[in-house]
Structure 1
Amino acid sequence: MIETPPPPRMIPAKLSVLGTGISLPGKPRSNDDMVGFMALRADKHRSEFVGTLANQLGIYQRYLSRDLVKPRELPRDGDTNPELCERAIRAALNAAGRTVADIDLLIGHTTSPHTLLPPNIAWVADRLGYPGQYMELRQACTGFANALMIASSMLTSMAADCVCIVGSETGSTLFDVEDAISDRGQLVNVAQMGDGAGAVILSRHGEGNGAYLHNVYFGTRGLGRPSGFSLVAGGSSQPSHTVADSAERHGFINDYTLTREHGLELFSAGFEALKSVGLGTGEVTRYLAHQTNGRLAQILAPILGVAEEKFHNCAADYGNTGSASTWIGLHSVREQRLLRPGEVLGVLGAEATKFMYGGFAYVEGVRQARPAEAVV
């Protein structure tokens, strides 16, 4: 790792937020449900530990794309990654008063795609009947920030008038009781993670009084560091058949010790990025940090010097939804009308895969209609 990390890249352009939407799979699953899932193979002590850990993390329910009746399962019909994305996008389009035909560019980001190739977003385009340009980022919790940088360039250059971004995860299908029995990191995944999709519809911001975001930023502190969160199978260097043949672990590998050691500095870096453009605690009404757990406000408040009540947290209801987290969080803020017109939400995104951070400032506008409800 270099001694002095470079400052984050920042794009000051204003982008109108025309609408947001989310999609959640199935019914809420309680911590007791997760204990029951572990009990399919694990002993009573280890099974109950998952429930204890979830309670300690402040996560009390989540939505999952699988039924938890077998140690390994595929997504249920109707709740695959592309299906969740389609529903979230249609909800966002409805809130924006737009149609699929209005989209000039469709950007997806996920770590748990329907297929590696074609990309997940190709299946989403099929479901939408969208014939235009699309692209996908294989990135988790800060994929939204890089997607916004692409969207900013396309919109401000007049190459596009309307961009849709969708972040999604169906990572619960990678939960494996056998792995979790021997790997504490897998126990953390089972206790912490949830599935879902969140979408946003963007355009160039004029002089109107609608909601907009600005000062998108992205930076990294992971140069030379090992990954704190990774997928062990897939890619040309670790094809899935070699993992299966050698009985190695599969799915998400969570080195939570690295995340605990280096994760908080990412939130501090994002906080300083916003301050560098005049968005300190006096200018920011509320903060939305990446929804790692339901107790993050208690952890970040003394570190950043921000009152706990200024943090919005919905991880207690959704868990850590990875790529979908920021869009689900933003939709939650808008849906609950937590900001008055002109008030600012400071977004602090963080990702442990290679210790990246990113975010933006969201300014609430005057809205004539309530955003569409979540599609479940």
Structure 2
Amino acid sequence: MVKFSEQPLKLIASASILPGPPVTNEQLFAALVSRCSARSAKSKVRRAKAIARRLAITHRHLTRNLHTVVCQLSPDAPELGVQVLSSMLGERQLDVQDIDYLITHTATPHTQIPGNSAWIADRIGLHNPHMELRQACTGFANALFIASGLPGTTNSINTVAVCGMEVGSVFFELADHFLDEEQLLNYMQMGDGAGGVLLAACDSGVESKTGNGRRGNLQSGGIISDIYFGHIGVGRDPGFHLAGAGSSDIIDHSRGVPHFRHNGAMVKEHGADLFLTAIQCINERGYSLHELDWILPHQANGRIGQMLSRETGIAAGKFVVDAGELGNLGSAAIWVSFDRLIRSGKLKRGQKLLVLGAEATKYMYGGFIYQH
């Protein structure tokens, strides 16, 4: 059953970070040739090309080095989060301690414990509370649900920062024994990055510092409302999961590094239901897709807009799709595309955006309405 938050939030700032220059499909194919045996490289490249065509993904950004089997990340996940927060604070001329509560979400943490929120707080010197959600593509919706209940509840909480980051490229070995069909899908589909928002209650008196040191009211970028979250996962096997990183399979070292496993049949059977269930819930709140100006779905692949256009009858041009040039950014995907849309100038004042998050781990969905 879906749940809605009845507490809207004021958007103070947004930001997104993509590590390094874009990595093309051709660079990924070349890395396969370099790291795999001559006997298998040709077959793997052929299969990778077919996957890339099916996904319509041509570029992505990565924190890993393609010239080694495994590697350390640069920048790492907390650093991506630090850059997002620093960008938002700098834009609004706020101090680190103006973040009264930090909520992060990711499926690829720097360490399982402490979470990214703790590492980020340490690096930026944040002394206020923080927490982290271990969640993939709908982490943003759960974080918003929690955030909506914080501002205004006490005199000490005015602003909440939400930040999602993913560095999934490290959960991968560029080696023959590792690169089956599942892992080639990960290789071609996933990207790294981070994004986030700074939020306050709609009636908040949150202020920014002006150039002369005085404080002035922040101009809101818009209102986030109708925050919702639900799932249809009871009794269904996960569509994908991170193997080798949990207490249930810690002794399974058959693959070396922890890695993502896909249940393609389950995702194909139930994936579209996540979007359609969310749309039904939004319709029941009194919204019509035809009346909304933009729709931002989870960025699963570069064809997601076309797929949803066929399912809903809504013109493909209404759907915001960045996955073709960014890949699937998991827990960071919605915030990165949200920030890019705002900065593009396409979203005009007064226009409404519907966000449709979907996550196939245990078939969760969530999102919000944003009025610019």
TM-score of the superposed pair, with normalisation by structure 2: 0.91
Shift in alpha-carbon separation, 1:98–1:236, aligned structure 2, 3 A: same
Q: Residue 196 in 1 paired to residue 193 in 2?
A: yes
Q: Distance in 1 between matches of 2:243 and 2:167?
A: 16
Residue of structure 1 equivalent to 2:215: none
Q: Which moved more, 1:352-361 or 1:152-161?
A: 152-161
Q: Distance in 2 between matches of 1:231 and 1:180?
A: 18
Residue of structure 2 equivalent to 1:155: 151
Q: Residue 69 in 1 paired to residue 34 in 2?
A: no
Q: Distance in 2 between matches of 1:17 and 1:164?
A: 10
Alignment check: 8 A CA contact 2:11 2:220 kept: no
Q: Distance in 2 between matches of 1:224 and 1:218?
A: 18
Residue of structure 2 equivalent to 1:166: 163
- How big is the alpha-carbon RMSD for the aligned residues of Structure 1 and Structure 2? 1.8
Alignment check: 8 A CA contact 1:32 1:51 kept: no
Q: Which moved more, 1:56-65 or 1:154-163?
A: 154-163
Q: Percent identity?
A: 37
Residue of structure 1 equivalent to 2:6: 12
Say which of 215, 230, 244 aligns to 1:219. 230
Say which of 309, 319, 338 aligns to 1:301. 309
Residue of structure 2 equivalent to 1:359: 367
Q: Residue 27 in 1 paired to residue 25 in 2?
A: no
- Superposed CA deviations along residues 272-309 of structure 1, whole A, max 9, x for unmatched, are 12212122123310100000111111111121221101
Deviation at 1:128, TM superposition (A): 1.1
Q: Distance in 1 between matches of 2:88 and 2:123?
A: 15
Q: Which moved more, 1:280-289 or 1:104-113?
A: 280-289
Q: Would you identify which runs of 4 or more consecutive aligned residues in structure 1 move more than 4 Å?
A: 179-182, 207-210, 246-249
Residue of structure 2 equivalent to 1:369: none
Q: Distance in 2 between matches of 1:192 and 1:16?
A: 33
Residue of structure 2 equivalent to 1:53: 51
Shift in alpha-carbon separation, 1:151–1:247, aligned structure 2, 3 A: closer
Match runs of 1:220-369 below 5 Å: 220-239=231-250, 242-244=251-253, 246-247=254-255, 250-364=258-372
Q: Distance in 1 between matches of 2:141 and 2:176?
A: 32
- Superposed CA deviations along residues 6-64 of structure 1, whole A, max 9, x for unmatched, are 3x100132101111111111111000111122221142121232133223311111000
TM-score of the superposed pair, with normalisation by structure 1: 0.90
- SS of equivalent residue, structure 1 residue 243: coil
Shift in alpha-carbon separation, 1:308–1:107, aligned structure 2, 3 A: same
Shift in alpha-carbon separation, 1:107–1:179, aligned structure 2, 3 A: farther
Shift in alpha-carbon separation, 1:47–1:103, aligned structure 2, 3 A: same
Q: Distance in 1 between matches of 2:233 and 2:65?
A: 36
Residue of structure 2 equivalent to 1:96: 92
Residue of structure 2 equivalent to 1:129: 125
Deviation at 1:183, TM superposition (A): 2.7
Shift in alpha-carbon separation, 1:69–1:214, aligned structure 2, 3 A: same
Shift in alpha-carbon separation, 1:164–1:249, aligned structure 2, 3 A: closer
- SS of equivalent residue, structure 1 residue 225: coil
Deviation at 1:182, TM superposition (A): 5.4
Equivalent pairs, count: 353
- SS of equivalent residue, structure 1 residue 177: coil
Deviation at 1:135, TM superposition (A): 0.3
Deviation at 1:178, TM superposition (A): 3.6
What code does the residue aligned with 2:356 have? L
- SS of equivalent residue, structure 2 residue 266: helix
Q: Which moved more, 1:278-287 or 1:329-338?
A: 278-287
Alignment check: 8 A CA contact 1:22 1:89 kept: no
Q: Residue 44 in 1 paired to residue 55 in 2?
A: no
Q: Distance in 2 between matches of 1:38 and 1:94?
A: 41
